[in-house]
Amino acid sequence: MEQSEEKKQLIAVARGQKPADLILSNARVVNVFNGKIEPGNVAVYGGYIAGIGDYEEAKQTIDLQGKYLIPGLINGHVHIESSLLDVGQYARSVVPAGTTSLVTDLHEIANVCGLDGIRYVLDCARSLPLDVFLMAPSCVPATHLETSGASLDINDIRRILRFKECIGLGEVMNFPGVLSGDKNVLDKVEAAGGKIIDGHAPSLAGKDLNAYIAAGIGSDHESVNLAEAEEKLRRGMYVMIREGSSEKNLEALLPLVMDETYHRCFFVVDDRSCYDLLNDGDIDAVVRKAISLGLNPVRAVQMATINTAQYFRLDKLGAVAPGYIANLIVSGDLKTFPIDMVFYRGCQVGENRRALFEVPKSSRQKLTGTVKIKPFKKESLQLKISGAAMPVIEIVPGQIITRKRMEKIAVVPDTKRDILKAVVIERHNATGNIGLGLVKGFGLKRGALASSVAHDSHNIVAVGTNDDDIYLAVREIERLQGGLVVVADGRVAASLALPVAGLLSDEPLATVVTRLEKVEKAAKILGTKLSSPFATLSFLALPVIPELRLTDMGIVDVMQFKLI
């Protein structure tokens, strides 16, 4: 049917002249425009909301018995790869939790597989009841201080910006490049002219923040304290309030949300583990926590729906209103916020946290065989110790920032002082690059951990108490063609295979969580007290987050933005 004819039929349903496809009767509609709750029947036709009122005629009627009808939640910034789930299994995890739309830049899989990785995800998503909006990944690779599996130049960015799913430019992590006027960075910003440009500016303040915003960047998700978020909002940024698995900023930033400011704030998760998706949820979990911290429930809904939609210019999403897409959730209690039913374009796709759809077989070949390591000997892992002060990466529990420490080192590892060896091995092009460093805060007393999930270039990152176990852990990652591995006393204690790009499993959520729990438990048996040791490990090689990192090229001082 032609679009004009569809519109004509929708108008007829709205006027009560034609039966609706679906009526959700006896609803309490959460109105995100005026912050009120209004009773009524909601008529749906052709995937759109026709109207709210006393509608009665429909092909199907569902009596909500006074439950709340809420717009489908929108996750405004998420790296779906951090769930460790392939696209279809990810959708089956988040859609029943009320997430019907998300915004992602896919720079994790793009750093491994380039345009092929982006196309793979988008192709898979088209057959799923989940709107996936793409932000062109601006930093692939994130910096020149590491080796990635792919590089997206300005011509690639222009090509991606023309994708129908693409709505803007993804987080501009290379803020030093913006501030210094780097041509490659600014060309990408210029190419996105007229579209949304997301930021990534940890600790940026004062004139440097002014300069970053003046370049055309409109948002930030890296604020970890209230003063930082307040300054960014004062200067015109939208503040993404992040509550992920390893980055939890909601409690610190929630005082920012007031009558005068709330419309410039919205919720994101950035990175959320499969464990948290199963046991806590997605954006719905952020809404619940915000409410438990005292935020008005309707305002919490606004910050997970219409605020996000308006920032990203997602017309006809984020509200229960005539002409809006019928992405809807039903909840029996606005305080505890259970997700009872989920509708995608007027069709029910979730009930009581259970997916009512299957994952279609992908028409694209899965992205496997991506772990390519140049053969090396265990002796390559030796770290020379001079007795002088050496840089040590200190983990900050609950955050992805690290601290730079200078410590006199007599022996490595030094488990009494909790100073362990860290290793990053290039795995895309078999260059043979091996970065060696020291890390404090993992708490291992024996054994080693290794992972092919290492933001953002996703080389193999390992930490351990001895070279034998580190070497074996890396070899096991190579054999699995990606994954998480725990080694102790010369044997593999636990592993989780991630064969899709070395980042994702195509197994169902519950299966992946069970295996993740086994590797996390095995890590804790070795002595770590970190709540999510593999999540922490995955950020050890990210050279755009202060203060100190390790890549396959060596130790990076992020504040100086150079190898030291």
pLDDT tens digit sequence for 67-100: 999 999 999 999 999 999 999 999 999 999 999 9
Listed range (32-46, 279-293, 384-398, 437-451) with the worst mean pLDDT: 384-398
Cα–Cα distance, 532 to 463 (Å, whole number)? 14
Is the pLDDT assigned to residue 387 strictly greater than 90? no
Cβ pair 73, 287 in contact under 8 A = yes
- Going by pLDDT thresholds of 50, 70 and 90, the confidence category of residue 385 is confident
Is the pLDDT assigned to residue 116 strictly greater than 60? yes
Give me the count of residues in the chain. Answer: 564
Please compute the mean of the pLDDT values over residues 182-207 and round it to a whole number: 95
pLDDT, tens only, 254-263: 999 999 999 9
Taking each helix axis from N to C terminus, what angle separates 154-161 and 183-191, rounded to the nearest 10 degrees?
Answer: 10
Of 161, 157, 303, 138, nearest to 215 (Cα)? 138
Cβ pair 545, 399 in contact under 8 A = no
Cβ pair 299, 260 in contact under 8 A = no
pLDDT at position 372 is 97
Listed range (115-124, 265-274, 399-408, 453-462) with the worst mean pLDDT: 399-408
pLDDT at position 510 is 96
Listed range (180-184, 272-276, 290-294, 394-398) with the worst mean pLDDT: 394-398
Q: Cβ–Cβ contacts within 10 Å for residue 564, how many?
A: 10
Cβ pair 242, 250 in contact under 8 A = yes
pLDDT, tens only, 197-252: 999 998 999 999 999 999 999 999 999 999 999 999 999 999 999 999 878 999 99
Task: Please indicate, yes or no, whether the overall pTM of this predicted structure exceeds 0.75.
Answer: yes
Please compute the mean of the pLDDT values over residues 24-34 and round it to a whole number: 98
- The mean of the pLDDT values for the chain is 95
Is the pLDDT assigned to residue 366 strictly greater than 80? no
Q: What is the domain class of 71-355 according to CATH?
A: alpha beta
pLDDT, tens only, 117-164: 999 999 999 999 999 999 999 989 878 899 999 999 999 999 999 999
Q: Which helix (H) or strand (E) holds 564?
A: none
Report the percentage of the chain scoring pLDDT > 90. Answer: 88
Domain boundaries, the chain: 71-355, 378-563
Is the pLDDT assigned to residue 362 strictly greater than 80? no
> What is the CA angle 517-271-516, rounded to 5?
10
pLDDT at position 364 is 54
pLDDT, tens only, 497-533: 999 999 999 899 999 999 999 999 999 999 999 988 9
**Any bridge partners for residue 492, and if so which?**
487
| Residue showing tokens 């790869």 | 81
**Alpha-helix residue ranges (DSSP H) falling in 264-350:** 274-279, 283-292, 297-303, 306-311
Please compute the mean of the pLDDT values over residues 383-400 and round it to a whole number: 87
> How far lies 239's CA from each of 104, 228, 265, 445, in Å?
16, 10, 5, 40
- Going by pLDDT thresholds of 50, 70 and 90, the confidence category of residue 1 is low
Of 60, 99, 51, nearest to 342 (Cα)? 99
